[in-house]
Structure formats: structure tokens, C-alpha cells
Structure 1
Amino acid sequence: MVAVFVLAGLAAVALLGGVHWYVWRRLVRDVSAPHSLWRRVGTVLAVALPLVSVANMVAARAGAPFAVERVLAWPGYMWLALLLYLVLALLAGEVVRLAVRRVAAARRRGPLPAGDQGTVRLPDRKDSAGTAGGTGNAGSAGSEESRRVFLARSLAVGAGAASVATVGAGAYSVLNGPTLKRLTLPLPKLGRAAHGYRIAVVSDIHLGPTLGRAHTRRIVNTINGTQPDLVAIVGDLVDGSVADLGPAAEPLRHLRSRHGSFFVTGNHEYIGDAGEWIDHLRELGVHPLENARRELPGFDLAGVNDLAGEDEGQGPDFRKALGDRDPARAAVLLAHQPVQIHEAVDWNVGLQLSGHTHGGQMWPMNLLAGLANPTVAGLERYGDTQLYVTRGAGAWGPPVRVGAESDITLVKLESPAV
């Protein structure tokens, strides 16, 4: 097992090194003279930035002081986001580079005159002596080199500008706070008294070294502005301990709704001490649903622990949460991961509310998220059970979202009896 981890680590280092060499080659070596200022600065950055990113990831896993994590997190994570889009832009530039080369080669060959088909032209004596022909070739080579450098610089500037603009807009999207989405759902078996019931659904807040108290306050203000009947926090609230992130979670105390705020664990809660956070949330007035159920007017609200809790003997228990309920009543289930929908179908749940995927967070990661989750974002039906997956209100790793805007969703339930 140790050998597997060592090999995986070496492969990751080799991949990271190869990617940075490619970026250095295209953004530094190909566009600058050997002893220019940009060659020296770019080379230093090509070494320093990956070291900061690796140090950031090591610090987070080695239990470094939270102050150290905060110092390393912003440059470390932002560089990884920028690296992703630099590589994508440079790869697109390779297509342009290949097309330009083919066009230039076709122009150099040129079409043969109609009467010269099959005729071979011998070089002039001037050419063979290396006088006039030699001078022309030298000029052509210099012109070709100038065109090559111009193309390399143009592609480098374009890739840099595109990636910086993409990451900048993605960071602004996260730091500006989640957008509010509204969704109306008919829910079979929902009692007449619960018609129009509004649930504010938020997930994946990811309080940590980059997202803190101000982020929580924006989320609380958005939720309170909807005047919901109930608040559902569907996992991955934190990336750290209560000692480090307790102050960041403090604004949750000010959540306001008619029937209270409820919470189920996500996989990230089990990276640290999930029990510690559950106790702290109770102090903040948030009610954890640990494989438990609450009877509300017109429907049952149930919650199950995340799958990551299985390693600690705290995994999801659908029987405990749903086993003895009245099947004539509607059931709304809070479950962090969308893959738990299959058990929800077996237990005749009417609606499952989930998060976990971030909608992919940064394109094209949504393609990978689609391989691991039945639904990446939005509403889908599985048998008689509806699954709604929110994109989440925060971000994991780089505080950047591209093509997957963060959200809080206000779900309005409709009764068939009305």
C-alpha cells in the first residue's frame, strides 16, 4: 500500500513538473532572448509558483497553523486555477500554430507553372556559389524567425490574457456571493397545509482559509431576505476545525425561518471532527439531522449522514431516518451526495435535496463530475423520486467558479390537494 502511494505521488510530481515545463517553454523560452529580464523572471516564477501550490496542499494535510494555511492558500490555489486555463489556452494555441505553419509551407511551395509540370530546375551558378542565393536564404531565414517569434508572443499574450480574465471573473463570482434561484416543485402526498412551503437550500459553503466570516454573512443575508419556512444546509459547511473556523461560522446564528435551520454532514466534515461541528452547530441554533427525521406540517423532513462517515461508523442509515414513518405522508430528504438517490427511491422519498458536485465548479471539471454523480446540477426524476442538486454557495480549493455559478435555491413545494 505504501508503494502505491509513493508511485502515485511520484506520478503527480512528474505530471506537475511536465505541465510547468510546457508553460515555461511557451510563455518564457519561446518569446524571450536567453539573457533577457523576462527569461530570468519567468524562470523564477515557473519554479516558485508550483512550490507554493505544493506547500499549500502539504500544509493543509500536515496540520500546519491556520495562519500559515491562510498565507499559502490564496497564491497556491489561485495559481492552480490559472494554470488550468493557461494550459487549455496554450493547447488551443497549438492548433493555431499548426494551421499557420501549414499555410506558410503551402505558400513557400507555391503552384507550379502550367508548362513546368514535371520539369526540374537546376540551381544557378550564383546560387551554387553561395553569393546571391546565399544572401537571399539568410534574409528568408531571418524573416522566418521574426514571424515565428511574433506568432509565439501573440499566442502567449492571448493565452495569458484569456486565462487571467477567466480566473478573475471566476473569483469575482465566488467573492460576490451566491445568486438566488427559485424553483417550484409539485410534491405528491404533500398536505394541503404545506402548499407553498418554502425551503432555502444551501450546500458546499466550504468555510476555510480563503472563505470566512464575510462569506457566511453574505449567505445568511441572502437566505433571510427570502423569508423561508425552513433552511436546509446540505453538507460541506467547513474545511477545518471549530477552533480555526468557529468565528467564520458565527453568522449562522442569525439565520431566520419559521421552522428553523437543519444540517446534514458532507464528506468534508469527516476530514476533521464532524462530531465537534455538530455540537457547535447546535450552539448556533442549527439542528443536525443525524440519520433522523422531523415531522413538519404536511410532510416529513429527514436527513442522513454522508457516505464518508462510514469509516467512522457514522455512515448513512436510511432505516433509522425513514423506517417507521407514515408512508401516506410526503418525505423530503437531505442527503449531501446525489448518489444517495438510489436508496431514497427504495424508501419512497418524494424529494431529495443534495449538493456535493459544485456543478463542476470550473469547466471542464463538470465532465468529470458527471462521471461520478447521477446528476451534476438541477432537477431530475428517478422513478417516483425527484432529485434536486444545488451547485453550492462556496468553492473548494481555488475560490473560483467558471461555468458553474454558485447558488442558494428557494424551493417552493406545491400540494396536489390544492
Structure 2
Amino acid sequence: MTFYLFISSLTADSIRLIQKYLLKEKHLNFITKIYKNGLLAAIIFAVIIIGSVYGMNHIELTEYNLTTDKIDNESYSILFVSDVHYGTIQDTQLVKDSILKMNKLKPDIIVLGGDIVDERTTKEEMQEIFEEFGKLNSTYGTYYIFGNHDRQPYSTDYENGNRTFTDSDLNQSIEENGIKILNDDKITINNDIVLVGRSDAAWEDSVNRIDVDEILNESDLSKYLIVLDHQAVEDEENAKEDIDLQLSGHTHGGQMFPYGMMYDLTGRLNYGEYEFGDMKQIISSGLTGWGWPMRNEAKCEYVLININ
């Protein structure tokens, strides 16, 4: 908030200087009055905050179209949803309404990309969101990978200092709603696509995980290979393993300026579509966000990927 107050004041100063030395229009003299009493900066600050609140409460569909010569006579659509953080900072009814819209897409495959719940999600809310996602219809099923928040590892984020559900509660709720967990595991779909679901990389690959080639093992590399990894890591390594597509979330597209810009300036993957040789990488900004109930970078989204 202090940063946005500074930005608002700096913008107000800039507008005042432009009006005074460049425009010199008499009918713009009101700018001088509202600038001197601080109202101009307050208006700019209010616009930033209102726009950010709107950003967190407006969910859109983002669509990608990919082509491959690995699949004959078939097209597949994948619905990818990540970073819901259910029951924390976004209206739960808005999430439910979005799930109804997702169902109308009639995807072939559904992927839940981690952080569907977090430390502030109650057990009842956790059960509720997986029941909602369990209602989604698809041709080949719904698959789930863990994010860094799902199993509530960060005690500093607890409402009351304790976990609200156990790993067993979480796994049971996921599986009893017909959702398959892929945790360093793979599944072949219709003899065309291999989904490789990764365990979470903790703090940006700070834990040792088994390699993708160990998970693939004897899998036919002529199939369309998709790696599902909550965090956008090991991209170059995956490209060398002939992976065709990697799907990730975690970054929230920055969510609040200037975090996304900082990601971009430091060369880290942030949001959108990237290429590593023949491999495509798509990073979703997530259905919700985390922490503050505001968003002014990227957007709240669910993703549809068409593979033709």
C-alpha cells in the first residue's frame, strides 16, 4: 500500500508538471487545485485499488492452440486450472460459477495444477471444492498434481496455528470425487498422450526429485508427452527429454505490480507461453491469487489448450 501511495503521488506530480509546462490550458486549471490539496494523488490511489479488487473478482478463459505431428486423426482439448486457494481471498460463489462455465467447454482432459487449497482453507471448504471439481465432465478424466500449499506446509499462514486437514483427508477427498492424483507418476491416454505428473518442487526446485526420464521409463517417446509441474522449473531438462508440453502455475502472473515485472527483468518464467526447442511451456496466472484480495498483473483465468 505504501508503494502504491508513492506511485500515486509520483503520477500526480507528473500530471501537474505536464499541465503546468506543456499543456498550459486554462480549462485544466482544476488540476492545480486538486493537486495542491492531495486529492489528485488520492484519486489515482483509489483507481489502483478499485481496479485491483476488480481484477481479483473477474475470471476469464484463456485459450491456446498447439499443433503436433505426433497425433493422427485426433484433436484433444485440455482444461487447465491452477492456484484456486479456495476459501481464502476470492468469493467462493465466483469460483463455483466459473466451474459451471468450464463444464460447458466439454474438454477431453482436465488438469488441476496445484494449490487448489492452502493453509487458510478449512476442511469443509477443501471437501467442497473437490466435490465441485468432481462434477466436471471430460472424455478421459480429471488429473491432479500437488502445489506448494495444498498440504498446508507453512504454519505461519494458519488461521489458528494448526492444520485444518491431514494428508489423508486431502487425498481421500480428491480421489472420492473421481480425480486421479499424479505424484511423480504417469498415465497414457487413448494411446496418444502421456501425462507425467510431478511432485512439487518446494521452493523453486530446492528439493531433489526423481528425473522425468525415470518416470517415463519405457514410455513410447513417439507419443505426445506432457509434463504437469506446479512450478515452472526444469524446463530445459524436460525439453532435452523430448517433452512436447509443460503446464505450470504458481507465479500468479505476478498478481500485484511490480512482482511480475521483477520476474521478467530477472529472466524467470512468469506468465503465458514459452518455447524451449520443440517444447512449449504454458504458465497460468491461476484462477485466484494469494495473500491480498487484489490483482493488477496478469488476470484470474482458467486455460483451455487445444492440441491439433
Range into which the TM-score falls when normalised by the shorter chain: 0.7 to 0.9
What residue number does 1:210 align with?
A: 89
Q: Is 1:173 matched with 2:55?
A: yes
Q: Is the 8 A contact 1:204 1:392 kept in 2?
A: yes
Match of residue 197 from structure 1 = 76
Q: CA deviation at 1:290?
A: 0.4
Q: Which residue of 2 aligns with 1:251?
A: 132
TM-score by length of 2: 0.81
Maintained 8 Å contact 2:78/2:306: yes
Q: What secondary structure sits across from 1:308 in the alignment? A: coil
Greater share of strand: 2
* Other-structure match for 1:75: none
The answer to whether structure 1 residue 302 and structure 2 residue 186 are counterparts is: no
Structure 1 residues 179 and 311, CA gap change in structure 2 (3 angstroms): closer
Distance 1:87 1:296, change over 3 A: same
CA distance in 2, matches of 1:324, 1:310: 28
2:2 aligned with 1:92, yes or no? no
Are 1:289 and 1:303, in contact at CA under 8 Å, matched by a contact in 2? yes
How many Å apart are 1:358 and its aligned residue? Answer: 1.4
**Residues 332/311 of structure 1: CA separation in 2 closer, same or farther (3 Å cut):** closer
Query: Which stretches in structure 2 are left out of the alignment for 5+ residues?
Result: 22-31, 154-165
- Assess, with a 3 A threshold, how the Cα gap between structure 1 residues 216 and 281 changes in structure 2: closer, same or farther: farther
**Aligned counterparts, 1:90-129, within 5 A:** 90-95=9-14, 99=17
The C-alpha deviation readout for 1:273-318, integer Å capped at 9, x for no partner, is 5564233211222211101111112111111011018999784642
The CA deviation at 1:376 is 1.7
Q: 1:261 corresponds to which letter in structure 2?
A: T
Matches within 5 A, 1:7-406: 80=1, 83-95=2-14, 99=17, 151-153=35-37, 156-176=38-58, 178-189=59-70, 191-193=71-73, 195-211=74-90, 213-240=92-119, 241=121, 243=123, 245-249=125-129, 250-272=131-153, 276-297=169-190, 298-308=192-202, 315=209, 317-371=211-265, 374-406=268-300
Q: Distance in 2 between matches of 1:311 and 1:331?
A: 21
* CA apart distance, 1:220: 1.3
Say whether the 8 Å CA contact 2:232–2:248 is kept in structure 1.
yes
Give the helix-richer structure, 1 or 2: 1
Query: 1:218-237 CA distances to partner (integer Å, 9 max, x unpaired)?
Result: 23112101010011111111
For 1:353-388, what per-residue CA distance to the aligned partner results, in whole angstroms no more than 9, with x for missing partners?
111121111232211222566432221210121111
Contact in 2 for aligned 1:213/1:251 (Cα 8 Å)? no
1:220, 1:276 → 2: CA distance?
23
> Are the counterparts in 1 of residues 231 and 249 from structure 2 also a CA contact under 8 Å?
yes
* Alpha-carbon distance in structure 2 between the residues aligned to 1:242 and 1:289: 23
Q: SS where residue 285 of structure 2 aligns?
A: coil
Distance 1:403 1:292, change over 3 A: same
Runs (5+) with no aligned partner, structure 1: 1-79, 104-147
Query: What is the rounded CA distance, in whole Å, between the counterparts of 2:284 and 2:270 in structure 1?
Result: 9
CA separation of 1:311/1:388 partners in 2, compared to 1, >3 Å: closer, same or farther? closer
Q: Which amino acid aligns with 1:258?
A: T
Q: How many residues align?
A: 283
SS at match of 2:305: strand
CA contact (8 A) 1:338 1:373 kept: no
SS of the residue 1:206 aligns to? coil
Q: Percent identity among equivalent residues?
A: 25
Write the distance in 1 (CA, Å) between the matches of 2:203 and 2:216: 18
Answer with 1 or 2: which has the greater Rg.
Answer: 1
SS at match of 2:45: helix
Q: Which moved more, 1:378-387 or 1:234-243?
A: 234-243
Q: Report 1 or 2 for greater relative contact order, CA contacts < 8 Å, sequence distance ≥ 6.
A: 2
SS of equivalent residue, structure 2 residue 78 = strand
Q: Which moved more, 1:156-165 or 1:282-291?
A: 156-165
Opposite residue 377 of structure 1, the aligned amino acid is Y
| More displaced stretch, 263-272 vs 384-393 | 263-272
TM-score normalised per structure 1 = 0.61
Distance 1:282 1:314 in 2: 26
Q: Secondary structure at the match of 1:267?
A: coil
Q: CA RMSD in A?
A: 2.9
Quote how far apart the aligned CAs of 1:267 are: 1.6
